[in-house]
Amino acid sequence: MKLIVGLGNPGNKYQKNHHNAGFIVMEEFLRRHGLTIKKQKFNGIYEKVRIQNQEVILAMPYTFMNLSGNFVFAISNYFGISPKDILIIHDDKDILLGKYKYKFSGGHAGQNGVRNIIQQLGTKDFSRLRIGIGLEKGKEINIMNHVLKNFSNFYYKNLLSDDTLYESLDYFLNNDILDTMNKYNE
């Protein structure tokens, strides 16, 4: 069984923030499959479902970004899910807006939710779907202001309508992360 967790901050004021890319993608993935998340536990929400004949847990923490690891540790421990079977969907300032990239293992690159997940799991060996919120190289930004900035209407709609992105999540359900990276990373 796999666990897919979309990261973000709960509450309407954060709904379209760059930092909520994980929530945005998870909510659209659920919508495309006609699913909703109803179960509340571990200071977040989750649902155990079957997609393409695969059992998967889809989840979103309500711990706020910097404490996402508490939720990921609790839910993965409760269901006995190994870190290698976890996919975290999160924003990434090092990837351009409108792009995404799969990754296995590695550091947190300044993403505090991923940093906390590494600390709580005691390993960096889990998969990530990194959603680009970055700007072109050489542009100076205040990262805190940038992650809490809303997506423009163009990029928000683009994130919701990127069929290949959602196809890649379906593909991941039946394949390992390396196959997914080889097929979908540019």
Catalytic residues: 19
DSSP 17: B
Q: Is 14 exposed, middle or buried (0-12, 13-18, 19+ CB in 10 A)?
A: middle
User: What are the backbone angles phi and psi of residue 181, rounded to the nearest 5°?
Assistant: -60, -45
* Contact between 124 and 83 (Cβ < 8 Å): no
User: What are the backbone angles phi and psi of residue 51, rounded to the nearest 5°?
Assistant: -130, 130
Strands of the sheet with 2-6, listed across from one edge = 39-41, 44-51, 54-61, 2-6, 86-96, 127-134, 100-104
